[in-house]
Amino acid sequence: MKKVATLLVAGSAIAMAAPAAAQDNSPFTGPRVEVVGGYDVSKAGSSIDDDVNEDNDQSIEGVVYGVGLGYDFNAGGVVLGLEGELTDSTADVEFDNGDFEGFGLGDVNAGRDIYVGARVGVLAQPDLLIYAKGGYTNGRYNINSSFDGEEYAAKLDTDGYRLGAGVEYALDANTFAKVEYRYSNYSDAELDFEGDIADVDVGEIDTDRHQVMVGFGYRF
């Protein structure tokens, strides 16, 4: 988790360091903040996918929501940027007619997700940016369990990468809206317990995550 905090702080500091005066005539330059929301699905990766049982969809779906910040600058017609994001999700493992719809991590619900990365875009027109993005993501899944009638509190922290693409439209000089698709893959996990119980390195996992997002933001 120290790695996550360091990356997030570094990305935030860079995003907020440049003053508003650094903007040029492009609406896609300078620091920005935004709110995001959309559709979220986590599912079994290809290495653990259950191809035999077609009735097991091996996925959980829900609504993802959160906030983001970033800094963009125009590098001669190409827009480059750094960004960070913190989101949460309502996705939860369910029992459908007695069928456990698991996807390899047990009985869990999706928790907070931290993302730090970069993006590169081109102007399709002066007020429309088409971009691709990528970076590091740390997703948390909360374990749903109890013992002797008491909730058993533990969290599965997962590390991976994110790739995505989207379009951003400048509503005016300071506000913007965007639509984005992104794919994340988590390949390493650690089981974190509350209290004095030592954390456990779970090792390699294979979890895919697909999200379709919309966002609205303000550029300083």
User: Mean pLDDT for each 10-residue chunk of the chain (220 residues)?
Assistant: 47 42 68 98 78 66 97 92 98 74 83 97 95 97 72 85 98 96 96 78 91 97
Looking at the chain, list the stretches that DSSP marks H as alpha helix, in order from N- to C-terminal side: 2-17
How far, CA to CA in Å, does 70 sit from each of 41, 90, 182?
25, 25, 17
Residues in the chain: 220
pLDDT of residue 21: 36
State the Cα–Cα distance between residues 135 and 133, nearest whole angstrom. 7
Range 30-33, long-range pairs (CB < 8 A, 24+ positions): 30/71, 30/72, 30/73, 30/219, 30/220, 31/69, 31/70, 31/71, 31/219, 31/220, 32/69, 32/70, 32/71, 32/72, 32/176, 32/217, 32/218, 32/219, 32/220, 33/67, 33/68, 33/69, 33/217, 33/218
State the Cα–Cα distance between residues 83 and 72, nearest whole angstrom. 9
Q: Measuring CA to CA, which residue among 114, 105, 123, 113 is closest to residue 170?
A: 123
pLDDT of residue 217: 98
pLDDT of residue 8: 45
- The radius of gyration of the chain from alpha carbons, rounded to an integer in Å, stands at 19
State the Cα–Cα distance between residues 68 and 26, nearest whole angstrom. 21
The architecture that CATH gives domain 2-21+29-219 is: Beta Barrel (2.40)
Contact at 8 Å (CB) between 60 and 74? Answer: no
Contact at 8 Å (CB) between 145 and 107? Answer: yes
pLDDT of residue 55: 55
Contact at 8 Å (CB) between 58 and 103? Answer: yes
pLDDT of residue 150: 61
State the Cα–Cα distance between residues 88 and 117, nearest whole angstrom. 18
pLDDT of residue 192: 87
pTM to 2 decimals? Answer: 0.81
Domain ranges of the chain: 2-21+29-219
pLDDT of residue 175: 97
